[in-house]
Each structure stands twice: as C-alpha cells, then as structure tokens.
Amino acid sequence: MPIPMQTVSEWYNEIVERAGLAEHSPVRGCMTIKPYGWALWENIQRPLDEAFRRTGHQNAYFPLFIPLSFLAKEAQHVEGFAQECAVVTHYRIKTNPETRNVSIDPEAALEEPLVVRPTSETIIWDAFRGWIQSYRDLPLLINQWANVVRWEKRPRLFLRTAEFLWQEGHTAHATAEEALQEALRMLDLYEEFVQEYLAIPVIKGRKTPNERFAGAVETFTIETLLIDGKALQAGTSHFLGQNFARAFDVKFLNAQNELEYVWATSWGVSTRLVGAVILSHGDEKGLILPPKIAPIQVIIIPIWRSEEERASIVSKAHEIAAHLRAKGLRIKVDDDPQHRPGWKFNEWELRGVPLRIALGPRDLETDTLEVAWRYTGEKQTYPTQEAIQRIPEWLEATQLALFERAKARIQSQTHVVDSYAEMRDILEKAGGFILAHWDGTTETELAIKEETGATIRCIPFNTNPELGKCIYSGRVSQQRVLFARAY
C-alpha cells in the first residue's frame, strides 16, 4: 500500500473526517457518526442481524444503567472493567437564574450509583434468572444491539471510542459442551461475515489466559492485520462456563429433576469494524469500500458543456441508474451543477465508491460510457447495454479481488520467526504478524510485551502442532502462536 507506515495514523484521521464518516464530538473520546458513516454501519448491521436470526437468536433490549452491586457479583469481571467505568451518581441538576450557572444538586445523590454499561453480562444474567426454570427453557439465545461505554484513556475514531455501538449475544445452555459449541459457532459466523462482506481476512484462535475476557473460561477471537502492520481484534466469542450463572444464581431443573447452574456464552462485534475496513483497503486517495457494504456501489457522473446537453445527459444518466437499481444495486447520480466533473471524481474516490460511470457528450453520440474501478484506478469505455449488464459481475469480482489483495498483503506481513532478535527487528521495522514458539507461561508473555510491545493475539486454530523451543525462554513449546503489536 502506498501509505507510509509512519503516516497511517494521520492519514486515517483525515480520511475519516474528509470522507464524511465521522467527526470528533465535544465529548472527549466520543464521535459523531455522520450519515455516510452511519449508512456504512447499517450495511454491516443488516446482514449480521439476519445471520443471527437465521441461527435462531432473538433480539431484546436491556437497560443502559447497571447497579454498581451487580458488577461486583463476578469478581474477575469487575476487576477487568473497574478502570474504565462511567458512573451516574446524581439524578438532578440545579440552575441559578441570576448567574446562569448549572450545577449538580448535592441533595440528589442516588442511593446506589449506576454504572453505564461497559458490557451487559451482569444485567442480562440478572434478568435470565427469572427467565429460566427448566431445561425446557434452554437454550436461550438472545442478542442485543446497543451502545456501551468504556472510559478509554487513548481513544481513536471507530477503533477505540469511549462510547461505541455493537451487538452483544448472550446465550444460556444446559450443558458445557453445548455452550462451547455455541461460542465456536458464532466465531465461525463472524469469520464468514468479516471475510465475505468486509473482504477482510482473519485468523481464528483462542486467547491466552492473560488476554481472556474478564469472567470468561475461554475467549475466542478473529484477528486481522491492518495496512500499518498493527493487529486488530475484529470480533470475540466467549465461553463463560457457569461463572455468571453462579454469580446471579441462575439454575435450571434437568430432565432428572436435579438443579444445575446454567452454562453461558457471550459474543460481540462493534463499530470498530468500520475502522478495520478503512485500514484494510484504503489507499492514498481515500477509502476503498467493499461493494457488499458500500452505501453507494456505483456513482454516475454526467458531464455536459451546455444547458441543452445537460438536460439530455442527465436524463440518460437517470435512465441508466434506474436499470441498475432494478437489479438491486445502490446507485447515485451526481448531477449537482455546483461542481465540475474533476471535483466529483476526486470526491467519490475519497469516499471509496467501488465503480464510477462517467457519461458525457461523446458517449451520448456513440451510446457508450466510461467505467472506472476504484481499487485499481483502471478506466475503460463500454457500450451502454454491455456495461449495465456486466456491472453486477464487476462488483462481485471487485469484492473478491479486495479480499485476495488483503490476503496477499497480510501474508507478506506475516513472518515465521525462530529467534527473539529477529522478532524484535521485524516489529521495529514494519510490524506485522509473527508466528513463533511460546512456552505457555504468562511470565514469558508479559516479558515479551514489556520488551517489544507485542502481545499474543491468539493461539491459532489452524496450525499443525509443531514441537519447538520458546523464542524467549528456550523451553519446550507445542505450537506457534501469533504475536503482534495491536490497536
């Protein structure tokens, strides 16, 4: 990718704002998602929501506020989130009409402070207690679309905001085996969605105990690598064991009439995925959006020299748009007289529209149009009918090509490494994924993190067991794990 590693951060902020995805809000760490960014998020949400329904999940909604005492019920869970909680302590403010000052009314303190949810396990499991009596109530498969708040010290637009939007699935099962299968099934669903819709290759695996979700028995993850060589956790799925069932006393009667604690999972993906798309496919001209999620799949730009030409060309452009919309495509005709064609070319490239059609006086005479591909920059003229017919296949081909391009990039950024010195060298120079042996201890993991900034992103599923020596301690290792510096 033609964006130098050192400038990616600057590029990213500029693109997010100039492309109209989002902007910084008056509240530190929180962003305003603008219409184009929201349309993109909706195009991510919709197919995901459909997939959850197909797999038997139901949507529900739980409160934004969580009583402080609820968080305290699962020891590891509260430990994990304690450092980043926003807390509501009062329910009223006072106004002074003379000074026009507004202040918190000290008389109005809540008896029990409310935590703005950083995640909803606790309030959901409190509710589940009342929903589950018998094995006949299981499995209980619930999903929630919501906003959550984690008071991040170092926010970044989309990638790590203090408030973010996500879905969180929460399920309850009669057996450990069934819950584990559910956690793995949803991880597979995430993998398929991210690769197929976002054209982002991911590596599936399990987290080390140190990187596990607070309160989970096992955390599974899909990890990807962005253009600057930094890793991003794109989605997670947790096997929670009976931890939350015990904390919230959720039991069921099994077929033998015995009381048992329920087994649980939770899983989520967030608006972070928008950041992943930007930093997987973008180039120096701006965004490159995969056709399946692009708010506009084809932009049509009419070009005219006089008012007479304008009328006939614009009407031809809308005619072409109608044909394409009839095929179920998302099309926009940019007939805004405020801007000239060159301005529009740049603008829609910045916004990442996969295909562009330019239609001018020359084309009107020959019944042709010019097609331009965003991801290659290639331009070619086609007879109008042929173009209309072939655009769906071109969009599909673009979707696949973006995935293959990202896959090749990540492959080139992935290094199988057998010496610690080499690992440090690669991390310093270009970043990337490092596949190396690890002795399985948290001490080694933390020491490597301390010295290199790299963490174990996951213990990948799809690697063959391979005996080796730990890159750090020299002790025996059963398989390679995936290291990287991460967002």
Partner RNA sequence: CGAGGCGUGGCGCAGCCCGGUAGCGCACCUGCUUUGGGAGCAGGGGGUCAGCGGUUCAAAUCCGCUCGCCUCGACCA
Which residues bind to RNA, rule: CB under 7 A?
9, 13, 24, 26-29, 80, 83-84, 118-119, 148, 150, 152-156, 160, 164, 166, 207, 211-214, 216, 219, 233, 236, 268, 270, 285, 303-307, 310, 337-347, 349-350, 358-364, 370, 372, 377, 379, 449-450, 453, 486-487
Residue number with CB closer to RNA (2 or 328): 2
Residue 452 Cβ, how far from RNA at the closest point, in Å? 9
The residue type at 287: L
Residue 257 Cβ, how far from RNA at the closest point, in Å? 37
Distance CA 341, CA 348 (A): 11
**Look-up: residue for tokens 């900034």?**
453
Residue number with CB closer to RNA (71 or 132): 71
Distance CA 484, CA 462 (A): 18
Residue 346 Cβ, how far from RNA at the closest point, in Å? 4
Distance CA 173, CA 99 (A): 58
Residue number with CB closer to RNA (260 or 335): 335
Token pair listed for 116: 């703005």
Residue 465 Cβ, how far from RNA at the closest point, in Å? 25
Distance CA 373, CA 280 (A): 17
Quickly list DSSP for 208-264: -GGGS-TT-SEEEEEEEE-TTS-EEEEEEEEEEETHHHHHTT-EEE-TTS-EEEPEE
Residue number with CB closer to RNA (361 or 468): 361
Residue number with CB closer to RNA (16 or 138): 16
Residue 425 Cβ, how far from RNA at the closest point, in Å? 17
Neighbours of 485 (CB within 10 A): 18
Residue number with CB closer to RNA (82 or 400): 82
Residue number with CB closer to RNA (304 or 375): 304
Closest C-alpha among 75, 68, 69, 126 to residue 262: 126
Distance CA 250, CA 121 (A): 13
The answer for residues whose C-beta is within 8 angstroms of residue 481's C-beta and 6 or more apart is: 208, 435, 436, 437, 438, 456, 458, 459, 460
Residue 117 Cβ, how far from RNA at the closest point, in Å? 10
Residue 136 Cβ, how far from RNA at the closest point, in Å? 32
Residue number with CB closer to RNA (262 or 273): 273
Distance CA 153, CA 161 (A): 10
The DSSP call for residue 486 is: B
**Look-up: residue for tokens 């529009």?**
344
The answer for residues whose C-beta is within 8 angstroms of residue 342's C-beta and 6 or more apart is: none
Residue 466 Cβ, how far from RNA at the closest point, in Å? 27
